[in-house]
Structure 1
Amino acid sequence: MSVETGNARRAAAGAFIGTTIEFYDFYVYATAAALVLGQLFFPGDNVHLSTLAAFGTFAVGFIARPLAGVVFGHLGDRLGRKKMLLVTMGIMGAATTGIGLLPTYAVIGYWAPVGLVALRLLQGISVGGEWGGAVLMASENAPSGRKTFYASFAQLGSPAGLLLTLIVFKLVSLLSEREFLAWGWRVPFLVGSLLMLAGLYIRSGVRESAEFAAVIASRDTAKFPIAEVVRDSWREIVCAALAVTIGTAGFFFTNTFMITYVTQYLGVSRSVILDCLFVVTVIQFVSQPASALLAQKVGETRFLQGAAGLCILAPYPMFWLVCTKNVYLMTAGIALSVVLLSAVYAVIAGYITQVFPARVRYSGISLSYQLCSALASGTAPVIGTLLAERYAGQWTPLAVFFSLLSVLSLLGICGLAKLNKGRRVGDAGEPAAQPSGA
């Protein structure tokens, strides 16, 4: 194995482990918001309103992400990818630990939700700066022609982090309801602090991105990266933000919102839906790298267009199967949608990194991804909850909402293909060879 290949594999592994820990912390909050945070921090007689308030704080974390993407994108394009990844992991670990130690409304009153919102903002800032750097550390160190596959390892941290989340919540769900509400819900957050220490150690041993090192060596760093990328590539930013919609917002819909939907509106127990989502996430973990490999063979544009098109149709059989309340059929229905949307998610990261020059790439992909996160991902569970309450007993409006998210992704993918006209930005910002299927 060559030195370059070894560096590429270490970078991909570091991106995977780092994003696994970051997403674990993020999903711990999402799962807790669906299960318990509403009644502990927003108590009231109306369970629907308490859950909606908890999902509101979930959305707050996404609101912070575009600003974080701008700040960390600028610093990452000026100072390097590795430094930013160490900072973001430290912020996430501190925020998650803080939530695990935060007194509830019954102890400190209104200061409890205020503290929860503040710590959730810190989580959003962390993930907002994390994603772009992790993707670039993997893709910019990758061998030629394999950037999409290597970038998918950063995306693989999402299902891995969710698996860890579901395992920990499954264990604490074995407690009695009284114990779970008293202290059990804190355990997943405190576990995150231990994972953060491990992540910092691993990331400290990964070398800087090869492509960014080349930019530094040539003294070609941008003075104001965010201004440059917005001025020169604003159309690409808009299309990339649309393109990632179903891979991000759709995921929180099929996982975070689905927990609330089946427990509160279908009467399915918490343990059953957690078991379903665990199996679905295992399937996702296996299917994502397979999707990235397939995309390299058939052409990334063609693959993404096909996957997004199938996502438009997926929610109708999903809800039909979920409403049977049969655990096996529920798992099959959710898995169908998740496999398709995660196919987009696995490939889109490497796809959009090639749209922007290396000197402003951190800023470009971070702004694109985090704009989508703020506008669509954080609001997906909220909109789902509002639709479920407004159209109680009807799942068609929920399926239509999922389809609309898929349409946005398809429009963004087609827009990028048209803007590029069969060309990609190469490693140093020069037009590269036409990708297959473009």
Structure 2
Amino acid sequence: MSQHTVTGADAGVQRNARDSRRASLGSYIGATLEWYDFILYSTAAALIFPTVFFGGIDPALGAALSYATLAGGYVVRPVGAIVFGHFGDRLGRKRMLIITMVLMGVASIGIGVIPGSDTAGPAAAVALVGLRLLQGIAVGGEWAGASLMSIEHARPERRGFAGALVQSGGPSGSVLATLAFGLVSLLPTEQLMSWGWRLPFLASALVVVLAIAIRVGVKESPEFVAAEHVEERPRVPLLSTFAENWKSVLVIVLTALSPFFLQSVTSTFGLQFAIASGNAQPVTLWMLSIANFVSIFATLGFAALSDRVGRVRIMATGFVVSGILVWVAFALLGAHSTFAVLGAFVLLLAIGNAMVAGPLAAYMAELFPVKNRFTGVGVSYQLAATIAAGFAPLIATTLIASANGGTTLLTTFVSVLAAVGLIAALLSRRVRVA
């Protein structure tokens, strides 16, 4: 049993097993494709964009500006959560998810065709920032909607696993993105930097059509439909969320800081750190892909376990484990060894992070009533993502520089975030849904 009970219209919900499976599949595929596009940008921001869009300046400054555009996508994610959450709580989940998919497709394809700074000058960077912000707004509304469609279609005893199907879209998208970059990285450097890096972005045109077709066939959330008869929908879900469920927002933000920071810093700075330690870029990308592939099943496994023994118990264990393993993992990332790098990525993503990320979606949904759940889950999740994941590479770079190239300050910071998450998860048992 979980520690929280979903409130609202659940007693009157009529569920269909076929609809539940289709909703979960649609949410998983959609989330995978959304995160493929989003993580594709993160990888390119570390390896490609400093040269292509910020050429002609000091390399260190170019890298910092590239990471700043990465952070910009996170900064606007709460805006997407507010906008899509408002209409998702008032009009339904399904339509919002189709819109977010279209926006993400437009942004990613656009990034694949804009010229570099050698052709367009400063305008290239401006266009990149604009498309990145559009990506962030789309993802801001996507995650909560996809999670709730899967969770609200599922039986109460299966909500952890149903939510994790969307969570596993993160590592699934990472696998696709890093595989795509691993393949194009085999090209000669000149070809990679001129046109090869664009191919993974342009491939979004094909998969977006597939994702939209799947989502059109998914029925609206049965809990949302049933809630019309027992809950009055707030005129402004955002105000309702902070007036009635502010404790839930605070607890979720503090809980999610650690997994967001750890995932982001591993996929961006950790990747760059391993390459700088002498490991070949294509091989390092393959190792990250393998770790993310393992994370898919680890995320689902830990979530299924949370359906049996409780969300908080599994997540609390994950915080303890990740706070310790990060020290081992970063020592391995600094080694000139393929297997050491693989071990580090597995420790960080498939063990420490998956134990927290697996139950996270259901944990969050169970802290809000149906009437403002889209807004509450979306805003809480995206606030944490903006604070932790958006600035993770910049924070990591600063901490490494302050330690004269050492990782002690960075690993200490990760351990502190894990301790904060542990305390927040334990306190969530006292939160009551208004």
Aligned equivalent of 2:325: 314
Aligned partners of 2:335 and 2:36: how far apart in 1? Answer: 30
Aligned equivalent of 2:97: 85
- 1:399 matched to 2:399? The reply is no
Aligned partners of 2:58 and 2:399: how far apart in 1? Answer: 17
The 3-state SS of whatever aligns with 2:156 is: coil
Aligned equivalent of 1:286: 297
- 1:112 matched to 2:124? The reply is yes
Quick one: which amino acid aligns to residue 307 of structure 1? G
Choose which of 293, 299, 314 in structure 2 pairs with 1:303.
314
Aligned equivalent of 2:394: 382
The one-character-per-residue Cα deviations of 1:16-45 (angstroms, maximum 9, x if unpaired) are: 000000000001100000111011111245
Aligned equivalent of 2:8: none
Aligned partners of 1:392 and 1:46: how far apart in 2? Answer: 20
The answer (yes or no) to whether the contact 1:38–1:53 under 8 Å persists in 2 is yes
The answer (yes or no) to whether the contact 1:261–1:385 under 8 Å persists in 2 is no
Aligned equivalent of 1:142: 154
Quick one: which amino acid aligns to residue 173 of structure 1? S
Quick one: which amino acid aligns to residue 332 of structure 1? G
- 1:190 matched to 2:202? The reply is yes
Aligned equivalent of 1:43: 55
The one-character-per-residue Cα deviations of 1:297-318 (angstroms, maximum 9, x if unpaired) are: 2221111111112111111110
The one-character-per-residue Cα deviations of 1:70-93 (angstroms, maximum 9, x if unpaired) are: 111111000100000000000000
The answer (yes or no) to whether the contact 1:313–1:403 under 8 Å persists in 2 is yes
The 3-state SS of whatever aligns with 2:420 is: helix
Please give the root-mean-square deviation of Cα atoms over the aligned residues, in Å.
1.5
Displacement of 1:242 in angstroms is: 1.1
Aligned partners of 1:200 and 1:304: how far apart in 2? Answer: 33
Aligned equivalent of 2:16: 4
The answer (yes or no) to whether the contact 2:315–2:359 under 8 Å persists in 1 is yes
Identity, in percent, stands at 35
Aligned equivalent of 2:288: 277
Aligned partners of 1:204 and 1:363: how far apart in 2? Answer: 22
Matches within 5 A, 1:58-207: 58-207=70-219
Displacement of 1:219 in angstroms is: 6.7
The answer (yes or no) to whether the contact 2:179–2:286 under 8 Å persists in 1 is no
Quick one: which amino acid aligns to residue 346 of structure 2? A
Aligned partners of 1:130 and 1:33: how far apart in 2? Answer: 22
Displacement of 1:47 in angstroms is: 2.2
Aligned equivalent of 2:6: none
Aligned partners of 1:273 and 1:44: how far apart in 2? Answer: 27
Aligned partners of 2:126 and 2:392: how far apart in 1? Answer: 22
Aligned equivalent of 1:434: none
Aligned equivalent of 1:435: none
The answer (yes or no) to whether the contact 1:300–1:351 under 8 Å persists in 2 is yes
- 1:370 matched to 2:382? The reply is yes
Aligned partners of 1:46 and 1:391: how far apart in 2? Answer: 22
Choose which of 22, 27, 44 in structure 2 pairs with 1:32.
44
The 3-state SS of whatever aligns with 2:171 is: helix
Aligned partners of 1:32 and 1:89: how far apart in 2? Answer: 21
The one-character-per-residue Cα deviations of 1:344-370 (angstroms, maximum 9, x if unpaired) are: 111111011011000110010011001
Aligned equivalent of 1:13: 25
The answer (yes or no) to whether the contact 2:231–2:371 under 8 Å persists in 1 is no
TM-score (norm 2): 0.94
Q: Cα 1:49–1:262, aligned 2, differ >3 Å: closer, same or farther?
A: farther
Aligned partners of 2:136 and 2:69: how far apart in 1? Answer: 11
Q: How many residue pairs end up in the alignment? A: 420
TM-score (norm 1): 0.93
Quick one: which amino acid aligns to residue 270 of structure 1? Q
Quick one: which amino acid aligns to residue 295 of structure 2? Q
Displacement of 1:217 in angstroms is: 4.7
The 3-state SS of whatever aligns with 1:140 is: helix
The 3-state SS of whatever aligns with 1:261 is: helix
Aligned partners of 1:392 and 1:351: how far apart in 2? Answer: 39
Aligned partners of 2:285 and 2:92: how far apart in 1? Answer: 39
The answer (yes or no) to whether the contact 1:250–1:405 under 8 Å persists in 2 is no
Q: Cα 1:122–1:349, aligned 2, differ >3 Å: closer, same or farther?
A: same
Aligned partners of 2:187 and 2:303: how far apart in 1? Answer: 39
Aligned partners of 1:219 and 1:332: how far apart in 2? Answer: 49
In structure 2, runs of 5+ residues without a counterpart are: 1-13
The answer (yes or no) to whether the contact 1:261–1:388 under 8 Å persists in 2 is no
Choose which of 340, 347, 365 in structure 2 pairs with 1:336.
347
Quick one: which amino acid aligns to residue 290 of structure 1? G
The 3-state SS of whatever aligns with 2:157 is: coil
The answer (yes or no) to whether the contact 2:77–2:139 under 8 Å persists in 1 is yes
Quick one: which amino acid aligns to residue 390 of structure 1? S
Q: Cα 1:3–1:412, aligned 2, differ >3 Å: closer, same or farther?
A: closer
Aligned equivalent of 2:243: 231
Aligned partners of 2:58 and 2:290: how far apart in 1? Answer: 32
The one-character-per-residue Cα deviations of 1:374-419 (angstroms, maximum 9, x if unpaired) are: 1111000111122223334311112112212222322321221232
Displacement of 1:218 in angstroms is: 4.8
The 3-state SS of whatever aligns with 1:112 is: helix
Aligned partners of 2:169 and 2:411: how far apart in 1? Answer: 27
The one-character-per-residue Cα deviations of 1:181-221 (angstroms, maximum 9, x if unpaired) are: 11001011101122111111111100000100112355732
Choose which of 216, 220, 225 in structure 2 pairs with 1:208.
220
Quick one: which amino acid aligns to residue 163 of structure 2? A
The 3-state SS of whatever aligns with 2:235 is: coil
The answer (yes or no) to whether the contact 1:73–1:366 under 8 Å persists in 2 is yes
Aligned partners of 1:9 and 1:222: how far apart in 2? Answer: 30
The answer (yes or no) to whether the contact 1:97–1:189 under 8 Å persists in 2 is yes
Aligned partners of 1:221 and 1:51: how far apart in 2? Answer: 46
Aligned partners of 1:367 and 1:247: how far apart in 2? Answer: 17
Choose which of 261, 264, 274 in structure 1 pairs with 2:273.
261
Quick one: which amino acid aligns to residue 63 of structure 2? T
Displacement of 1:3 in angstroms is: 6.9
Choose which of 347, 350, 367 in structure 2 pairs with 1:355.
367
Aligned partners of 2:328 and 2:393: how far apart in 1? Answer: 20
